[in-house]
Amino acid sequence: MEAASSSPSHCRYSYEEYKQTADWLLANTEQRPKVAIICGSGLGSLAELLDDKNAFSYEDIPHFPISTVQGHVGRLVFGKLQGRECVCMQGRFHFYEGYDIHTVTYPVRVFFLLGVETLIVTNAAGGLNGAYNVGDIMLIKDHINMPGFAGQNPLCGHNDERFGVRFLCMSDAYDRDLRALARRTAEEQGCGSFLQEGVYCMVAGPTYETIAECRVLQKLGADAVGMSTVPEVVVARHCGLRVLGLSLITNKVVTDYDSNEKANHKEVLKTTERRTQDLQRLISQLITKI
């Protein structure tokens, strides 16, 4: 895959490349989704709920990156969820796979060109808030973009006005009305007892955080920490998409030097498997109300 330009003043991909991908997908499916769902670690089974499925392996889609992480299938699935057309990413892309920030966020601009208006992002996250339990679902109300502090922002470089404005407001990144709708839906589905609302912090990974780092993030006001989501949200908001974010708390971070607990990916996937049905049910009902 050729880069649009090696110059730091240009985006890695051109508008034409995004459009080629979108046009190829539109030519190969009759679905015209208004909602896109990015499935986090172990949550790809959400896509299996779709009716009238039309699935494409990432490797078959022009210019599309390929996911390499266990728990990420690597397919784009179009279909109907509760009668509503949507598209699901079974597997996302991360810094720690060696991708640059523009590759990580590539699918979001493709969604925009497909006509998507709402993006639902899910992830597996470590609980920083002491009141959270493993298995809780956290509505993301805000985020802390640690890679962004270091200059890794997907909007750095040339700005294409066809996608959005040069200077983007992020104080309303996570749609307030969608969060309220999610809370009401969770109560209706019997999920209210383990629904939280808080701040998600993104770190680059792939290492889990040290005890000192976890303590710093807690002091910064983060309730959960993970290695994804924020870049996609930034690009989605740049394109004018409404965003709803959901974190599944798969482990509690270690903040005590005397503790023998250790974070590990198998534990993350195991907890995800246990709570997946609740998350599926919540998102399925949400889709009908958006």
Q: Is 10 a catalytic residue?
A: no
57 is an active site residue: no
Q: Of the listed 63, 97, 117, 170, which one is catalytic? A: 97
Q: Is 124 annotated in the active site?
A: yes
d(CA 123, CA 253): 16
Note if 96 is an active site residue: yes
State the catalytic residue, choosing from 13, 18, 47, 94: 94
Answer yes or no: are the C-beta atoms of 267 and 155 closer than 8 Å. no
Q: Which listed residue (10, 153, 265, 267) is catalytic?
A: 265
Annotation says 63 is catalytic: no
**Choosing from 200, 227, 232, 236, which is the catalytic residue?**
227
Q: Write down the catalytic residue from 72, 102, 143, 238.
A: 72
- Is residue 138 flagged as an active site residue? no
Among residues 47, 89, 124, 146, the one annotated as catalytic is: 124
Please indicate whether residue 238 is annotated as part of the active site. Answer: no
Task: Spot the catalytic one: 54, 96, 159, 267.
Answer: 96
Catalytic (active site) residue 170? no
User: Which residue is catalytic, options 67, 123, 247, 251?
Assistant: 251
Is 228 known to be catalytic?
A: yes
Determine whether 193 is an active site residue: no
- Which of these is catalytic: 228, 236, 238, 247? 228
Q: Which of 13, 22, 36, 41 is catalytic?
A: 41
86-101: b (≥16 Cβ within 10 Å) or e: bbbbbbbbbbebebeb
Catalytic residue positions, numbered:
41, 72, 94, 96-97, 124, 227-228, 251, 265
